[in-house]
Structure 1
Amino acid sequence: MPTIDRIDAFADEMTAIRRDLHAHPEIGFEEVRTSSIVAEKLGQWGIEVHRGIGGTGVVGVLKGKGDGSRRIGLRADMDALPMDEATNLPWRSTIPGRFHGCGHDAHTTMLLGTARYLAETRNFDGTVHFIFQPAEEGLGGARAMLKDGLFEKFPCDEVYGLHNAPDLGHGEIAIRPGPAMAGADFFDITISGYGAHGAMPERSKDPVVIAMTLGQALQTIVSRNVDPLQSAVLSITQIHSGSAYNVIPGEARLAGTVRAFSDEIRNLIRTRMRAVAAGIAAAFEVDIKVDIRDIFSVLVNAPEHSERVAEVARSIVGDANVKTRETPKMGSEDFADMLQAVPGAYFWIGHDGNVPLHNPGFVLDDKILPVGASMFARLIETRLPVGGHDGATHV
C-alpha cells in the first residue's frame, strides 16, 4: 500500500497522539484539551493557528510554494460521545460517560499527520486550511463554525472530509457522488394529559395510552405518506412518563429522529407529524406540543470532487480497494453543511474490526492513520500542483 513514506516514518507518533486523545475524550463544545493539543502541534510545525472558531474550533493556515491563489479546506471532527467505553484497552477512556466511540480521535490525528507532512514539504502551490471542528455529534459544530465566518475568514475553493468505516475492509476507501448521507431532524413531543389514581382511569386523560396511540400513528407516515420509492426513517427512541405503579401521570414525552435524502420528504414528514399529533390531541382532548429541529443537512458530494477522491485513492490503496457506494447511508454528518457552502467530497476509510460505530466495544485500527493522512496530503498535492496553472483541477 503506497502511503507516503514520510508519513509512515512518524506513524508511531500519530498512534501515540491518537491514543492520548482517546484516553481523554471531550464531548461537543467542551474540546478544550483537544483543541489545545491541536493548536500546539500546528504551531510547532510553523502553521498559522486560529482558535475559538465556532467555540472550540481550530483552523490552521499553510501556504505552499509559489503564488497560487487557490485554497482547499481539509476538515476533521474532534468530539467524543456521551457514553461509557467497554473495551478495557490500555488507552481506554479515563473519563466516565465519555468515549471516542466514533473514531473522531483518529480523524483529528490523521489531519494532524497531514499538516505535519505538508508543513515539512510544502509541495503544493496555494493555501491549505486545516479545519478542526467541534461538536459533530448532533450539537451543530459545523453550523457554529460557519456562523462564526469560517469560509469568510478562511475562503476555500474546495473542501474535503473523511470518516473511518468498520463496515469496509482494511485498506478500502469508499466514495459516493451525489446524496451520500441523510439529513436528520430530532424531535420532542410533550403530551399534557390529566393524572389520576391507577385504579380510577376514567378520571384521567391518560398520557401513556395517548403516547402509545401517537407512536403507532406516527409510523404510518413513512409507510403511507412517503413515496415508497423514496427512503425515509422515523424512529421514536425515547418514552418518558410516570413514577409509580398506581399513579396515572399527567404528562408523557416522546423523542426521536427523522432521516431522509431530500428536503421535500423531510418537510412532508414534519407536516404530517404535526397534523397527526393535532388530530390525536383533539380526539383525546389533551394538548400535544411537537418540537422538530433540523440537525443535519443532506450530505451531497460533488461528482467532480468525488472522482478526484477516487483517483487519489487508487494511487494509495489500488484500484481493487476503491469502492463506489451503491446506496447512500441513512446516518448523518454535519460536514454536509460545509458542503452546502463549498463544493467538495466526503469519503470513508475501512479498517480491521467489525464492532460498529457508537457501540461501547468499538475499537479503531491505528493502521489506518497513515492512510487517512496520505489521502488528505495527496489531495492537496494533486489539486494544488507545484508548477501547475492557477486553478488547475487535474490529477
Structure 2
Amino acid sequence: MANNSIDLIQVRRDLHKIPELALEEFETQAYLKSLITSLDCPFLTIKEVPEVPTAMLVRLAGSQPSKTIGYRTDIDGLPVEEATGLAWSSTHPGKMHACGHDIHMTVAMGILAYFANHQPKDNLVFIFQPAEEAKAGGKQIYDAGALTGDFAPDEIYALHDQPAMPAGQLGSRFGTLLAGTTEIKLTITGVSGHAAYPHQAKDALVAAAAFVTQVQTVVSRNVSPIHGGVVTLGSMHAGIADNVIPGEAQILGTIRAFTQTDLEMMQNRVRAVAEGVGLTYGVEIDLVLHQGGYYPVENNPEITTAFIDFMNDNPAIDFVDVEPSMAGEDFGYLLSKFPGTMFWLGVGDPTHSLHNAGMNPNEDALQPGVDAMTAYLEWRMDPQAQGKGTAS
C-alpha cells in the first residue's frame, strides 16, 4: 500500500463540497495548492499558467531522470444540483462533481504525495487541468505553451471514474477508449407567415424536420458498421403558435466517432445535408460545428501494451479489458500531442450514471487507484524491472 501523507477520503470530501464550473475553479486550485505546498518537498516545483489562470502544473524532479512522465487530472464540476443527501454534499448551489472529478483529483494527489515522499527516478509532471466539461481546458493549456521545456511530458496518463465498474477495479483497452465529439448548432431562417397561406412563406420548421430525418443516414450509410458513430439531435425549437408558420428554427446536437478521420467525414456529411436542405426549401442555413479539443481518446499502442501487461500481471490489481465508449473527454487532445494512455477506475455506483445528480462514488476506490498507479509508475521508471517483466 502506498504511504501517503494525505487523507484521501478527507481530501475527496473537501473537494466534493466546492465544485466549480469551467475556468472558475479558483477555490479548488487554492485548496490543491495548499495541500501540495504542505508536502514541503525540496524537488517539487509549481507552475501556473497566466493564460489559463485556474490551471496548475506540478513537477517532481527525478533522481536519475531519463524521461518526463505526465499525469493529468481534470478539476471542474458540472451545473447540476446535487441530490445525494450526503453530509459532504456540494456547498455551491446548482453545481456538483457529478462526473467524479473530485475522485480524479484525489487519486492524483495521492500519487503526487507518494512520490513527494519517495523521489521518483524520472521526472513527473502533474497537470491539474480546468475546463474539461466545457471549453477544452487541455487544449488551452497546450496552446498556452505550458507543456514545454521542463514541463513537457514524454508520455502521459489519466484516469476517468466509472460508476458501472466495481470500486477499485481498473480497465483500459488498445485503440480508442472514448469518442471524439463535435457540437452541432444549426439555425434555419425562412419567412414566417399565416398558416392559411403557406405558399407565401418559407417554412423553417418543415426544413428543420427534413434535416432531422436526413442526418439519420450519416451514420447508417457513411460510417463502417465495425467503426461506430453517433449523430444525436437533442434540441429543436421553432414556432410560437398553431396558426403561424415559423420563420426560424434552431437545432442543437452532437456528432461522435472513435477516430478523427470518421469524425471529420461525419462533419462534412452533416454540412452537406444542411446545405441540401437550404437549397431544397429555399431557406438560409447557419451551421456551426465545434470540436475544439475534444478529440478521440486514442491510447498509444506501445505505452498501452506496457500498461495493460503490468496491470494484468500484478496480482494485487483488479484489471479488466473494456469496450470503447461514446462518451467524450478532452484528454484526447493531449493524447494527439503526447503518447499515453487513459484508463477507467471503477467507483461502484451502478444505479447512477456519470452526470447524474445522485451519483455517489464508493470511496473504497481511492486507495486501489493510487496504489496501482504508484506501482506502475515506479516500474515504468525502472528499465531493469521492465526487462524482467512485471513486478508483483
Question: What's the TM-score once normalised by structure 2's chain length?
Answer: 0.91
Q: Which stretches in structure 2 are left out of the alignment for 5+ residues?
A: none
Give the Cα–Cα distance (whole angstroms) in 2 for the partners of residues 392 and 315 of structure 1. 14
Aligned to 1:369: 366
Give the Cα–Cα distance (whole angstroms) in 2 for the partners of residues 38 and 109 of structure 1. 9
Aligned to 1:136: 132
1:8-23 aligned within 5 A: 10=6, 13-23=7-17
Contact 1:70 1:390 in 2 (8 A): no
Describe the shift of the 1:77–1:273 C-alpha distance in structure 2 as closer, same or farther (beyond 3 A). Answer: same
SS in 2 for 1:150: coil
SS in 2 for 1:101: coil
1:345-364 aligned within 5 A: 345-354=341-350, 355-364=352-361
Aligned to 2:98: 101
Describe the shift of the 1:150–1:394 C-alpha distance in structure 2 as closer, same or farther (beyond 3 A). Answer: farther
Match of 2:185, as an amino acid?
Answer: D
Give the Cα–Cα distance (whole angstroms) in 2 for the partners of residues 245 and 94 of structure 1. 44
Contact 2:169 2:365 in 1 (8 A): no
Give the Cα–Cα distance (whole angstroms) in 1 for the partners of residues 388 and 157 of structure 2. 15
Aligned to 1:155: 152
SS in 2 for 1:99: coil
Of all paired residues, the percent bearing the same amino acid is 33
Describe the shift of the 1:114–1:316 C-alpha distance in structure 2 as closer, same or farther (beyond 3 A). Answer: farther
Match 1:310 to one of 305, 308, 323: 308
Greater shift in the superposed pair: 300-309 or 357-366: 300-309
Aligned to 1:222: 219
The number of residue pairs the alignment matches comes to 383
Describe the shift of the 1:246–1:93 C-alpha distance in structure 2 as closer, same or farther (beyond 3 A). Answer: farther
Contact 2:168 2:369 in 1 (8 A): no
Deviation of residue 351 (structure 1)?
2.2
Give the Cα–Cα distance (whole angstroms) in 2 for the partners of residues 286 and 36 of structure 1. 51
Instruction: Give a deviation string over 1:135-192, Cα, whole Å, max 9, x none.
Output: 1113211100111113314121211101111121223211101222211111111100
Instruction: Give a deviation string over 1:256-287, Cα, whole Å, max 9, x none.
Output: 11111222222221222111111111111110
Deviation of residue 201 (structure 1)?
3.9
Give the Cα–Cα distance (whole angstroms) in 2 for the partners of residues 365 and 37 of structure 1. 22
Give the Cα–Cα distance (whole angstroms) in 2 for the partners of residues 225 and 114 of structure 1. 44
Describe the shift of the 1:138–1:195 C-alpha distance in structure 2 as closer, same or farther (beyond 3 A). Answer: same
Give the Cα–Cα distance (whole angstroms) in 2 for the partners of residues 97 and 48 of structure 1. 35
Contact 1:170 1:351 in 2 (8 A): yes
Deviation of residue 112 (structure 1)?
0.9
Give the Cα–Cα distance (whole angstroms) in 2 for the partners of residues 207 and 374 of structure 1. 57
Aligned to 1:62: 60
Give the Cα–Cα distance (whole angstroms) in 2 for the partners of residues 322 and 93 of structure 1. 31
Contact 1:109 1:369 in 2 (8 A): yes
1:206-285 aligned within 5 A: 206-285=203-282
Aligned to 1:286: 283
Aligned to 1:343: 339
Task: Report whether the alignment pairs 1:76 with 2:73.
Answer: yes
Give the Cα–Cα distance (whole angstroms) in 2 for the partners of residues 114 and 211 of structure 1. 50
Match of 2:303, as an amino acid?
Answer: H
Match of 2:117, as an amino acid?
Answer: E
Give the Cα–Cα distance (whole angstroms) in 1 for the partners of residues 97 and 387 of structure 2. 38
Give the Cα–Cα distance (whole angstroms) in 2 for the partners of residues 364 and 372 of structure 1. 13
Aligned to 1:88: 85
Deviation of residue 316 (structure 1)?
6.2
Give the Cα–Cα distance (whole angstroms) in 2 for the partners of residues 393 and 79 of structure 1. 40
Match of 2:123, as an amino acid?
Answer: T
Contact 1:69 1:390 in 2 (8 A): no
Match 1:301 to one of 299, 302, 322: 299
Give the Cα–Cα distance (whole angstroms) in 1 for the partners of residues 243 and 315 of structure 2. 63
Instruction: Give a deviation string over 1:96-139, Cα, whole Å, max 9, x none.
Output: 221111000110111111111111122x2121111111111132
Q: CA RMSD in A?
A: 2.3
Contact 2:379 2:386 in 1 (8 A): no
Match of 2:128, as an amino acid?
Answer: F
Which stretches of structure 1, 4 residues or longer, exceed 6 Å deviation after superposition?
389-394
Describe the shift of the 1:205–1:150 C-alpha distance in structure 2 as closer, same or farther (beyond 3 A). Answer: same
Deviation of residue 202 (structure 1)?
4.0
